[in-house]
Amino acid sequence: MRRGQRRNLGASPSRRRETDIMAAYDRLPPELRAWLAQAALPWSPRSALRAWRAALRRSGCCKAAAERLNAIEARQLAREGAWPGHP
């Protein structure tokens, strides 16, 4: 290592990103897959599952978790200036 360079000590070499996105999607809970099928934005399976689990921890209910994901998505669409029907 050259002088002034730092190693990323927090990074684990064994931690890798999911390479097969369809396999990751197939492993999602059926309720989340159903929600993703109607989603307006292209969520990654990883980020969708993270948001889904957080919403389930709050409410414990799949319907409330789906509503939470709707709210997250609506906020993102508003931030980007898009709305339903916008090209």
The encoded tokens of residue 40 equal 């307006």
Q: Which residues contact 21 (CB under 8 A, 6 or more apart)?
A: 44, 45
Given a cut of 60, whether residue 13 has pLDDT beyond it is no
The encoded tokens of residue 50 equal 């993270």
Kindly report the pTM of this predicted structure: 0.70
φ, ψ for residue 17 (rounded to 5)?
A: -75, 155
Given a cut of 70, whether residue 15 has pLDDT beyond it is no
Residue pLDDT, tens place only, 30-84:
999 999 999 999 999 999 999 999 999 999 999 999 999 999 999 999 888 755 5
